[in-house]
Amino acid sequence: MKKVVSLLLVSALLIGALSACKRNEPEPEPAPPEPVTPTYDYQDGEYTVSYAVPALDRTLDYLTISVKNDEITIVEAGCKEDVSLPAPSEETSGDAASAPTEPAAPSEPASSDASSEAAPAGESEYEAKANAQMKDIVAEYEAVEGDLERMEPVEGAEEHTYRFMRMMRTALKFAKAGDHTPVELGKYEDGSYEAVMPSFSASGWKDYVRLTVKDGLITDIDFNAQKESDPSVLITDDPDLNKEGATDSPSVYYPAIAKAFTDSNENLDSLSVPTGGAAAAKSFQKLMKPLLASMISGGGTQITAPRYVDGTYKAQMKEFDEHGWKDYVVVQIRSDKVSVKEFDAVSKADENKLKSQDAEMAAQMEEKTGTSPEAYTKELRSNLDAAGGDPVEMDTVAGATVSSNNFRLLVGQILATAAVNGDTEKTLEVESFPADLGPAEEEAASASQDAA
């Protein structure tokens, strides 16, 4: 028995010793992590895209980009004159659709720096202008950090901006596939396109344009309008609007406008207007501008036309008020965003004098109403922005009720008429606000007018 106990004690001691030794052994080093292989959207290399069809200014755009670990670098971007076209002096006044529209003379380049320099050696005037514009386009591309969806067309170089966007989209598409084959583009991106007006007109019609592009060219185009009460009814088929034998009905001028567009080499600036079709022609231009931009740039195929036409508009009150002031407003619209550039009033006694320049009047107004022309104009701008550019929904400025109402009237009239049609040339004349105001409004208006 003693022998068995001794053996058990010895075994326990041995096990304890072995366990202690094991605890003192160092832990094995962890295995190093597997190296992470980076993944890229694009394959490295250079990719070249160019146009086989000239822009309206006779030049062919080209672009080469370099890709390295998804870093996109523009190697070269520019334009060269299409020497296959006849020289301007040799062109005839034949079929306008047979060649790009020829400008009478190149205007100043969009870049102010380039405009002060003569055309570089070896460049034609058309190339010099287009290449100056291309520098501005590349600068815009870099300013938005290569985000083509955020790019704004360079003023005066819209066509080249859209062509640049399409070249870049095409180059990136080929870079994704790793295809280094140089690409030549046709005039437009192939596809079926549709552009519609944002809402029905007051007469209950919504204009649209549908067209097909194949091999870079428009193969068919349909300009028409759907009836609000019955979308299956088209304006060219409506018996009430298309009397038998009439030459100025929608059934005549709607297709005539579409044909005039194709006959003018798809140049909206050269669009002829058939009898009775002035309003429809404006609608067609409004639809085609964003549609052409998308077709040229390789953007979407379903387009809703903007509510307003880009431009700068002016409206003024029709009469001077009893204190000898006439309010006016200058509004700039770009991509449906409404910005008020000026809101002021001219003096009847001296039409070179503005209300904003009358320090004495401003001091009197501030003392009586707590605001001034400078202050309420700033607040009116802010209120219009807060209302999403809708003058009906914007708040009135306390102490400047009459000025607020005039501001609403002027901006509202621009948005309801001139901006819809793109009439930037003339100044709108607007009737004053109706006199039948409520008591509280009338009192505020009176106080404001006394100071103003």
Domain at 179, CATH number: 3.90.1010.20
216 and 172, same structural domain? no
Q: Per the domain annotation, does 265 fall within a domain?
A: yes
Confidence at 86, pLDDT banded by 50, 70, 90: confident
Closest CA to 85 of 118, 124, 30: 124
> Pick from 282, 304, 326: which residue ends a domain?
304
> Pick from 304, 330, 351: which residue ends a domain?
304
Number of domains, the chain: 3
Alpha-carbon 201 to chain mean position: 23
What pLDDT does residue 122 have?
A: 74
For 126-163, what is each residue's pLDDT tens digit? 999 999 999 999 999 999 999 999 999 999 999 999 99
Q: Per the domain annotation, does 430 fall within a domain?
A: yes
275 and 176, same structural domain? no
Spatial separation of the C-alpha atoms in residues 350 and 354, rounded to whole Å: 9
Q: Does the structure show a pLDDT above 90 at 104?
A: no
For 346-359, give one letter per residue: b (16+ CB within 10 A) or e: bbeeeeeebbbebe
208 and 155, same structural domain? no
For 316-368, what is each residue's pLDDT tens digit? 999 999 889 999 999 999 889 999 999 999 999 988 899 999 898 889 888 89
Spatial separation of the C-alpha atoms in residues 393 and 383, rounded to whole Å: 9
202 and 177, same structural domain? no
180 and 78, same structural domain? yes
Confidence at 3, pLDDT banded by 50, 70, 90: low
What pLDDT does residue 25 have?
A: 61
161 and 57, same structural domain? yes
Burial of 105 (C-beta count, 10 Å sphere; 0-12/13-18/19+): exposed
Of residues 2 and 419, the one with the higher pLDDT is 419
426 and 371, same structural domain? yes
Q: Per the domain annotation, does 384 fall within a domain?
A: yes
Are the CB atoms for 65 and 72 separated by under 8 Å? yes
What pLDDT does residue 127 have?
A: 94
Give the residue-averaged pLDDT of 182-186. Answer: 96
Give the residue-averaged pLDDT of 196-205. Answer: 94
**Beta-carbon neighbour count of residue 295 at 10 Å?**
26
258 and 161, same structural domain? no
Pairing of the two strands 428-430 and 311-317: parallel
Q: Per the domain annotation, does 27 fall within a domain?
A: no
233 and 139, same structural domain? no
Q: Per the domain annotation, does 283 fall within a domain?
A: yes
Q: Per the domain annotation, does 1 fall within a domain?
A: no
Give the residue-averaged pLDDT of 79-99. Answer: 60
225 and 322, same structural domain? no
273 and 375, same structural domain? no
Q: Does the structure show a pLDDT above 90 at 19?
A: no
Q: Per the domain annotation, does 50 fall within a domain?
A: yes
* Domain span holding position 272: 191-304
Lowest-confidence region among 1-5, 23-27, 60-64: 1-5
411 and 386, same structural domain? yes
Are the CB atoms for 355 and 376 separated by under 8 Å? no
Of residues 310 and 31, the one with the higher pLDDT is 310
pTM for the model: 0.72
What pLDDT does residue 33 have?
A: 80
Which runs of E-coded beta strand occur in 360-403?
Answer: none
Spatial separation of the C-alpha atoms in residues 223 and 221, rounded to whole Å: 7
> Pick from 129, 164, 185: which residue ends a domain?
185
Q: Per the domain annotation, does 223 fall within a domain?
A: yes
